[in-house]
């Protein structure tokens, strides 16, 4: 049974874009994925994004993606929303991944803007509509033009929001002005996809976060969210400012690299990375330790 949701918070409020643990020899670590999923939900996550970019989806096979979603649903599916990343730049492949995720019990789908090919807005509209038509699962769009090459325009978001299964947007556009208009006009549940902007996006109508730094600071993010919802702006701001070293440090280099580095330092399941991503250098690890300590993370 899926966790409780509302139209305002269809996937909960605090979600982690979870890394994919690998064994020392680079194989998929399903036991580690289940352990990490339990740890993250125990820490206060309402949901987990599986097979997103932070989960190294470009270098995992369809079969591995399938096994990973099944394992995480088995571990925490009765306590948290398990949302499967299914986006590619090939609509037919994306639809196959969406149906596969539905079959193994995912509660929702995360669909990133098709990357590299730079489709026009009508192409984006048809792509996302096809995804929403392919299963009975609710869909969270993922707008990240810095990686995909094209934004989802506000007008397109408004059109897509008319589909009953397109219910949310993960915003990594980094434009608070555009976000303000899109939130007001579309009615989509808005999730921050940029940790540095978690609190600013809440202030203009976001309902929560899809976070990377939540691998290490979920309780702080939860406290910031609850302070904001309770009207304690000063406390929310203080927590945001406390976390600035974490927001900076976790993205000094590629975010999956630093996240796995941080989890390995904490003795949590993570393991190595798959090329083209590489392990942190000794110097990068030392700096990461400084950044984590400055943000209050115990190692």
Catalytic annotation, residues: 142, 170
d(CA 2, CA 162): 24
Of 75, 119, 66, 54, residue with least CA distance to 254: 54
Q: Is 54 known to sit in a ligand binding site?
A: yes
Q: DSSP labels for 13-78?
A: SEEEE----B-TTS-B-HHHHHHHHHHHHHHT-SEEEESSGGGTGGGS-HHHHHHHHHHHHHHHTT
CB 288 within 8 A of CB 280: yes
Contacts of 234 (CB under 8 A, 6+ apart): none
Q: Is 156 known to sit in a ligand binding site?
A: no
Angle between helices 214-229 and 255-265 (to 10 degrees): 100
Could you tell me the two tokens for 94?
Answer: 């994306």
CB 19 within 8 A of CB 54: yes
For residue 258, give Cα distances in angstroms to 25, 105, 152, 246, 249: 19, 30, 28, 11, 8
CB 271 within 8 A of CB 36: no
d(CA 37, CA 242): 25
d(CA 245, CA 105): 37
- H/E run at residue 224: helix 214-229
Peptide bond into 276 cis (omega under 30): yes
Q: Which residues are annotated as a binding site?
A: 54, 210
User: Residues within the annotated binding site for pyruvate?
Assistant: 54, 210
């Amino acid at each position: 049974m899926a966790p409780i949701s509302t139209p305002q918070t269809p996937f909960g409020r605090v979600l982690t874009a979870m890394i994919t643990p690998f064994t020392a020899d680079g194989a998929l670590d399903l036991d580690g994925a289940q352990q990490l999923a339990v740890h993250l939900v125990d820490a206060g996550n309402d949901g987990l994004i599986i097979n997103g970019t932070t989960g190294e989806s470009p270098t995992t096979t369809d079969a591995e993606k399938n096994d990973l979603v099944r394992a995480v649903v088995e571990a925490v599916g009765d306590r948290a929303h398990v949302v499967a990343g299914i986006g590619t730049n090939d609509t037919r492949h994306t639809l196959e991944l969406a149906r596969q995720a539905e079959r193994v019990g995912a509660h929702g789908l995360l669909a990133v803007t098709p990357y590299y090919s730079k489709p026009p807005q009508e192409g984006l509209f048809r792509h996302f509509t096809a995804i929403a038509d392919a299963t009975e699962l609710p869909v969270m769009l993922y707008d990240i033009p810095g990686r995909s090459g094209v934004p989802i325009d506000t007008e397109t978001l408004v059109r897509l929001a008319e589909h009953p299964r397109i219910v949310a947007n993960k915003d990594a556009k980094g434009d608070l002005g555009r976000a303000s208009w899109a939130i007001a006009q579309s009615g989509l549940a808005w999730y921050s996809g940029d940790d540095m902007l978690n609190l600013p996006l809440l202030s203009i109508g976001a309902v929560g976060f899809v976070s990377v730094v939540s691998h290490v600071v979920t309780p702080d993010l939860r406290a910031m969210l609850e302070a904001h919802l309770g009207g304690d702006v000063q406390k929310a701001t203080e927590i945001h400012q406390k976390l600035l070293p974490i927001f900076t440090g976790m993205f000094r280099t590629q975010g999956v690299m630093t996240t796995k580095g941080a989890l390995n330092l904490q003795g949590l399941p993570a393991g190595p990375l798959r090329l083209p991503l590489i392990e942190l250098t000794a110097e990068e690890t030392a700096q990461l330790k400084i950044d984590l300590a400055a943000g209050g993370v115990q190692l």
